[in-house]
Amino acid sequence: MSMTLTEKILAAHAGRERVSPGELVNARVDLALANDITAPVAIKAFREMGAERVFAPERVALVPDHFTPNRDIQSAEQAKLLRDFAREQNLPYYYEVGRMGIEHCLIPEEGLALPGELIVGADSHTCTYGALGAFATGVGSTDLAAAMALGELWLRVPETVKFVLHGRPRNRWVGGKDYILFLIGQVGVDGCRYQAMEFHGQAVAELPLDGRFTMANMAIEAGAKNGIFPPDEATLSYLAGRAKRPFAPVHPDPDAGYAAVYEYDVTDLEPQVAFPFSPANVRPVSAAGHVPVDQVVIGSCTNGRLSDLRMAAQVLQGRQVHPGVRCLVFPGTPRIYREALAEGIIETLVGAGAAVSTPTCGPCLGGHLGILAAGERAVSTTNRNFRGRMGHVTSEVYLAGPAVAAASAVAGHLVSPEEL
């Protein structure tokens, strides 16, 4: 019987021939992960469950990335809970500041998310790993505790919606962020609620892995359970020398049943921007009007990868950040940071007047290192622009890709790089 990519992975992990949308299955978990906000709650639930050992230490990852390097005493106490638990349980994949990266940049880079796998994380953007052809979804802390204790979790098999992106964008600054913002703008923030988004088409096939991570990352912003790409040559070469476990890529059946199929041509797509206060409030940058900007944030689990920093540097090369703008750059992992150093990207960014930080979630969630005052506006490469997301409840976040963010840092207002 024919199945979508998500259905196939769930069937395999539930020990079933086939599964259908709507069914509840108990599925085996290949990796369970949590961060410094969600793990403390999960560890508490784990103890209350009477669990003593995690089901497999090499299949649990803890990444303290949100309030680290610690913002205050309370967050230091939370981070300590992870550290102590990692020691107690002998977890090989716990990452201390200095080796720590933003979880959804770090886990794939470490080769801990693989095609055909089933991954649950106590963080909504766990769906990022769908870029590699894994079923990956965000859960809460109690679910994560159950997964750590049992090595399995109940899941409802989602319907799958197929998105086919045809063509090749003419605009050189258009990338994965623009594709996914455009799609969220089309379907809305609950357009794919409880569903799997499966991505196909020439534009997707030609999109480098970094761009696929960006797209899968924001599937949750359409309400989806997961976003997923059929693995291909690019996937395998990304994983070469990285994969920590053997894996078997899974592909959707050609005649699989989809709840809906959406097809778009991206040939003439412009860079996209999501206006406050919804990731679905999307328009092309040319229709942005005059939006003065106080802060620009480049980084996060959405756009903190090497090609994102490279694109920002291409825009900032030979230019200066506007005197009225704070431009903050957050490489996703220490490795990305080092590669950006080696390529001269960091030199360019700092030379242009940007501030480059050690990897952390920082301002993305209004945590620290770049909080907005009342009424301030930021252009940010992150994934959420909800009210108060980056600071004061009257502050505003405009979501864009790294090229528009960097261009806006130069201009002091929201703008496309072509207009500089």
Partner 1 sequence: MAVLTGRVHRFGDDVDTDLIIPARYLNTSDPVELARHAMEDADPAFASRVKPGDFVVAGKNFGCGSSREHAPLALKAAGVAGVIASSFARIFYRNALNIGLPIFEAPEAARALKEGEEVAVDPVAGRIRRLSTGEEFSATPFPEFMQALVAAGGLVPYVRRRLAERGGRA
If one asks whether residue 140 binds partner 1 (CB under 8 A), the answer comes out as yes
Instruction: Calculate ∠ Cα 315-319-322, nearest 5°.
Output: 100
Which of partner 1, ligand SF4, none does residue 266 bind (CB under 5 to 8 Å by kind)? none
Q: Are 379 and 363 in contact (CB under 8 A)?
A: no
The least CB distance from residue 383 to ligand SF4, in Å, is: 5
Distance between CA atoms of residues 19 and 257, nearest Å: 12
Residue for token pair 């970094």: 210
Site map for ligand SF4, 256-295, x if CB under 6 A?
Answer: ----------------------------------------
Among residue numbers 169 through 198, which ones bind partner 1 (CB under 8 A)?
Answer: 189-190, 193-194
Among residue numbers 96 through 135, which ones bind partner 1 (CB under 8 A)?
Answer: 121-124, 126
Which residue in 13, 59, 125, 212 binds ligand SF4 (CB under 6 A)?
125
If one asks whether residue 383 binds ligand SF4 (CB under 6 A), the answer comes out as yes
Which of ligand SF4, partner 1, none does residue 78 bind (CB under 5 to 8 Å by kind)? partner 1
Burial 125-154 (b: 16+ CB within 10 A, else e): bbbbbbbbbbbbbbbebbbbbbbbbbbbbe
Which residues, 6+ apart, have CB-to-CB distance to 240 below 8 Å?
none
Q: Dihedral of the CA atoms 400, 121, 199, 296 (nearest 10)?
A: 10
The least CB distance from residue 142 to partner 1, in Å, is: 4
Which residue in 68, 235, 382, 408 binds ligand SF4 (CB under 6 A)?
382
Q: Are 300 and 387 in contact (CB under 8 A)?
A: no
Which residue in 214, 295, 300, 395 binds ligand SF4 (CB under 6 A)?
300
Give the residue with the Cβ less far from partner 1, 164 or 365.
Answer: 365
Q: How many CA atoms are closer than 13 Å to the CA of 268, on its beta-carbon side? A: 1
Which of ligand SF4, partner 1, none does residue 259 bind (CB under 5 to 8 Å by kind)? none
Give the residue with the Cβ less far from ligand SF4, 235 or 383.
Answer: 383
> Six-digit token pair at 102?
């933003």
Which of ligand SF4, partner 1, none does residue 122 bind (CB under 5 to 8 Å by kind)? partner 1
What residues does 326 pair with on adjacent strands?
Answer: 295
> Six-digit token pair at 11?
């069937």
Among residue numbers 334 through 373, which ones bind ligand SF4 (CB under 6 A)?
Answer: 361, 364-365
Which residue in 30, 110, 143, 396 binds partner 1 (CB under 8 A)?
143
If one asks whether residue 259 binds partner 1 (CB under 8 A), the answer comes out as no
> Six-digit token pair at 37?
């906000």
Among residue numbers 80 through 119, which ones bind ligand SF4 (CB under 6 A)?
Answer: 102-104
Give the residue with the Cβ less far from partner 1, 132 or 157.
Answer: 157
> Which letter does DSSP use for residue 132 in this model?
G
DSSP string computed for 280-335: T-EEEGGG----B-SEEEEEHHHH-SHHHHHHHHHHHTT----TT-EEEEE-SSHH
Using a 10 angstrom Cβ sphere, with 0-12 exposed, 13-18 middle and 19 or more buried, the burial of residue 97 is middle
Give the residue with the Cβ less far from partner 1, 108 or 367.
Answer: 367
Residues at the interface with partner 1 (CB under 8 A): 24, 37-38, 40-41, 44-45, 48-51, 66-67, 71-72, 74-75, 78, 121-124, 126, 138-143, 145-146, 149-150, 154, 189-190, 193-194, 220, 223, 225, 278, 365-367, 371, 384, 386-389, 393
Residues at the interface with ligand SF4 (CB under 6 A): 65-66, 102-104, 123, 125, 300-301, 361, 364-365, 382-383
